[in-house]
Structure 1
Amino acid sequence: MTASFDVHLPDGRMLRAHDTGPVTDDATGPVLMWHHGSPQTGAPLEPVVSAAAERGIRVISYGRPSYGGSSPNPGRDVAAAGDDAAAVADAVGVDRFATMGASGGGPHALAVAARHPERITGVVTLAGIAPLTDRFDWFDGMRAPGGLQAAQQGRAARARFAEIDEFDPEQFLPADFAALEGRWSGLGADVARSAEFGDDGLIDDDVAFVNPWGFDLAEVRVPVLVVQGEGDRVVPRTHASWLLAHLPDATLWMRLDDGHVSVLDVVPDAMDWLLER
């Protein structure tokens, strides 16, 4: 059973965190920190928890600032997640762990490895976005890039866009909708729950994504598995190619029939990859 609790930080902020608990009596088993997508609450999704339990993996997670009850932190960069994640791990007595992030969680999973490489055994990004660069057409292939484009004009512009933003179903493939209706139905429910906490988390994520992340990909020196759906219309495959080329120790799994959500079906295999590191 997953326990939820608050982690109080030295700067006065609070993070709402979640922990499935030790899987061995001496609490020395493998630990995975799950980094949620944008927007979600931060609670680990059932398929992640069940796949981890089958492998004896403890799962911890938390809501990034303004998500799921966590305190706001406007102006945060992606790297800020490194210290927040370390504080959550400290709160539950975990020293070494792997990180896994889906969609908007991907960059933040990388941030922990960049800021605290001595604590991280490996990283998995699933449909994770790459840093903004003019070295390739960063927006090409995104079906609905309006939020990120607005974020380039600053937080106020991104907040104004949130008032008119509407979901475009063409972002998802039939395989994505099938995943949301089946194994990953909890993801859609969690996105709906996240609306109770407002748009600030998503706004701040988007602003962080299109500004300097606060670390360079070259600083992520632990093994990284980059998982990407070939047909992803939210985060196109070119982002995975950029990550593969610029991370020092990266492996790419390209999923030919997957989109942005259905690619999550690889989570159990990705956990096995982490256990081998």
Structure 2
Amino acid sequence: MDVTYESTKREIATDKGILRYHEAGDGPPLLLLHGSGIGVNGWRNYRGNLGFYANHFHCYVLEFPGFGVSDPVPGHPVLTAVDAVTRFMDALGIDSAHMIGNSMGGVVAVNVAMRHPDRVHKLVSIGGVGAGVFSADPSEGTRLLQHFADEPSRERLQQWLECMIYDPKLITDDLIEERWTAAIRPEAQQALKAMYGSEALALQQQFLAGSPNPPYWSMLHKVQAPTLLTWGANDRQCPPDMALIPLRLIPEAEMHVFPHCGHWVMYEAKTAFERITLEFLQR
């Protein structure tokens, strides 16, 4: 199915502001949840995949609050995104849906699945879910995000983009320009600082050290939805050893690793990713 930005864009009012999204296709509902990072939003994450999935599902690409598209709300971007998913589903009358989540979007999806198990039918994550077992923490990609959040520049943006992808030929001037234009918007800078700025990362470590609550990844046994973990073998943002925890804890988890591929699996391994995820979702 051919999709364009203008033909698919929608918005809906909720009690916490307007949520914007892209909609295409017909069939069982499928929510596509975007990641975090520099200049990110839902359309940029999934515009290359939406047409494929729209041939099989009624697709919704939700724009999370705080990334410059939907109305911002106070709070940490991950927590506000979890709330946004359920608000969005309630507003559109979607009882349950398949979910595909890229990085942060995968974390959001598993949190929805843990809190509202009846609302997630099947779940696909693209990196992100879990915690490092053998790799350094923070990862190389997170350190580059920290440097950009503290002091944005085109050079630091390009360094981070090169960390996201295995094949450097995919880092085009157009991609750099698009991400830079989006990243310098005040709301985008605020969201990035809230997640990856030096102060935010330091506060996060302090909170984890003193919090009586366990981290989300230690409660992944609560995810009842069949889950497909997808990973790039060369992911330097969320190294593949992160998958060991969710693969062990989620009762119905399976995993596919894509060779010669970085963090953006749906972009860099597009055809294989779409084929494998479609088989899983339709199984």
Q: Distance in 1 between matches of 2:180 and 2:123?
A: 24
Equivalent position amino acid for 1:145 in 2? T
Q: Distance in 2 between matches of 1:172 and 1:115?
A: 30
Q: Distance in 2 between matches of 1:242 and 1:2?
A: 37
Equivalent position amino acid for 2:191 in 1? G
**Runs of 5+ unmatched residues, structure 2:** 1-6, 209-214
Instruction: Give the TM-score of the pair, scaled to structure 2.
Output: 0.74
Q: 1:114-135: CA deviations, max 9, x gaps? A: 122112111111122424x7xx
Equivalent position amino acid for 2:60 in 1? I
Q: Distance in 1 between matches of 2:106 and 2:121?
A: 16
Q: 1:149-169: CA deviations, max 9, x gaps? A: x6xxxxxxxxx9723252325
Change (3 A) 1:203 1:15: farther
- Contact kept in structure 2, 1:122 and 1:223, CA below 8 Å: yes
2:275 maps to what in 1? Answer: 269
Q: 1:182-238: CA deviations, max 9, x gaps? A: xxx879846743543332222334459865449821111111110011111111111
**Runs of 5+ unmatched residues, structure 1:** 24-28, 151-159
Aligned ranges 1:134-149 → 2 under 5 Å: 136-137=133-134, 139=136, 142-146=139-143
Change (3 A) 1:80 1:16: closer
- The structural deviation recorded for 1:58 is 1.5
- The structural deviation recorded for 1:142 is 2.7
Percent same amino acid among aligned pairs? 23
Task: For residue 99 of structure 1, give the secondary structure of its aligned residue in structure 2.
Answer: strand
Q: Distance in 2 between matches of 1:193 and 1:74?
A: 20
Q: Distance in 1 between matches of 2:217 and 2:249?
A: 16
- Contact kept in structure 2, 1:179 and 1:261, CA below 8 Å: no
Between structures 1 and 2, the one with greater helix share: 2
Q: Distance in 1 between matches of 2:97 and 2:136?
A: 33
2:150 maps to what in 1? Answer: 163
Instruction: Give the TM-score of the pair, scaled to structure 1.
Output: 0.75
After alignment, is 36-45 or 103-112 more displaced?
Answer: 36-45
1:253 maps to what in 2? Answer: 256
RMSD: 3.3
1:154 maps to what in 2? Answer: none
Equivalent position amino acid for 1:244 in 2? L
Say whether 1:204 aligns with 2:207: no
Change (3 A) 1:250 1:180: farther
Change (3 A) 1:243 1:191: farther
Q: Distance in 1 between matches of 2:229 and 2:275?
A: 12
Of 13, 16, 28, the match for 1:7: 13
Equivalent pairs, count:
252
Equivalent position amino acid for 1:32 in 2? L
Task: For residue 145 of structure 1, give the secondary structure of its aligned residue in structure 2.
Answer: helix
